[in-house]
Amino acid sequence: MKPRTDFWRSLSPISIFRDLWAYRDLIWQMIKREIDQRYRGSYLGVMWSFITPLLMLTIYTFVFSVIFKSSWKNDADTPIGEFALNLFAGLAAFNMFSEVINRAPTLILIVPNYVKKVVFPLEILPLVAVGSSFVNSLITAGLVVIGSLLIQGRISVTVFLLPLAYLPLCLLSLALGWFLASLGVYIRDIAQGISIATQILIFLSPVFYPVSSVPEPFRRWISINPLTLILTEFRQTLLWGEVPDLKSWLLYLALTVILAIFGYSWFMKTKKGFATVM
């Protein structure tokens, strides 16, 4: 009777929140440690969080705006600075998602001692990955706000609504993090597959271009992409001064909550076999 009870408990949002909340101090300490370890020993330290996205932004902007003559408007007169801001806002969301799902398949594999030798809540590892990626994404979003002030001479009046865009992004990343972390233990090739998938996904998501520039026959397929709405909401709140569509946001939030619940349930159900497989 207990396994059945545990299964239904893993599907209860209240139980999931209560269980994870009990580890809040551990989660926070692991996020801080992960961020510290990422830059420990380097001369510039946390400055790499600013340098890396700025360098990639410069390269992407040069390639797509200068060489390919891409435009963010229906005309060809989009200033390079404006193009860069729209691109950077999209990267703030996409890079967070990409980092989490690329790391997820090996989250359990790289800590065998946590699985075999100590009693450790493995389910918090995807949450830690989301937390550390969120910090990097927030830095990028902050650079977009600063860039908007310097280039456009203003800050979007809806920037305070940015948490609305982050919430479904975090839930989607967490849901896939739990699912892929578990799957990666049983199918080791999944890590290579996800790496290829994210490289494809960045070009099938409106990161370098607006949805309006996609030919009509293909536009609906881009709209199906779960990242399309999130990327749009990031630009709406950070740059365009627009309020995200409440109906679409609520629907997407509900879907990501359901995905997160099932991702957590899947992880808790399958983690019992981790020690045997590893």
pLDDT tens sequence across 9-46: 666 778 888 989 999 999 999 999 988 887 665 556 66
Q: In angstroms, how far is CA 184 from the centroid of its own chain? A: 18
pLDDT band at 250 (very low <50, low <70, confident <90, very high): very high
For the cut 80, the answer to whether the pLDDT of residue 101 exceeds it is yes
Flag whether 199 is in a domain. Answer: yes
Domain membership flag for residue 78: yes
Mean pLDDT throughout 141-150? 88
Q: For residues 221 and 75, is the Cβ–Cβ distance under 8 A?
A: no
Mean pLDDT (whole number) for 102-113 = 93
Considering Cα of 32, then 199, then 278, then 170, what sign does the dihedral take?
A: positive
Kindly write down the DSSP assignment for every residue of the chain, as one continuous string. -HHHHHHHHHT-HHHHHHHHHTTHHHHHHHHHHHHHHHHTT-SSGGGHHHHHHHHHHHHHHIIIIIIS---SSSSS---HHHHHHHHHHHHHHHHHHHHHHHHGGGTTTT-HHHHHTS---GGGHHHHHHHHHHHHHHHHHHHHHHHHHHHTSS--TTGGGHHHHHHHHHHHHHHHHHHHHHHHHH-TTHHHHHHHHHHHHHHHTTTSS-GGGS-HHHHHHHHHSHHHHHHHHHHIIIII--PPPHHHHHHHHHHHHHHHHHHHHHHHHHGGGHHHH-
Q: Within its chain, how far is the Cα of 202 from the centroid?
A: 12
- Among 53-57, 207-211, 216-220, where is mean pLDDT lowest? 53-57
How many domains is the chain built from?
A: 1
Residue 10 in contact with residue 265, Cβ under 8 Å?
yes
Asked if residue 170 belongs to a domain, the reply is yes
Residue 7 lies in a domain: no
Residue 177 lies in a domain: yes
Write down the pLDDT at residue 68: 66
Answer whether residue 12 is part of any domain: no
- Domain residues for the domain of 53 are 18-272
Give the least confident one: 134-148, 228-242, 249-263.
Answer: 134-148
Highest mean pLDDT among 44-48, 57-61, 151-155, 229-233: 229-233
Whether residue 116 lies inside any domain: the answer is yes
In a domain, 196, yes or no: yes
- In this structure, of 75-89, 121-135, 195-209, the range with the lowest mean pLDDT score is 75-89
Tens of pLDDT along 146-200?
888 888 889 999 999 999 999 999 999 999 999 999 999 999 899 999 999 999 9
pTM comes to: 0.89
Q: What is the pLDDT of residues 61-92, one digit of tens each?
A: 777 767 766 667 655 566 777 888 898 899 99
pLDDT over 90 (residue 212): no
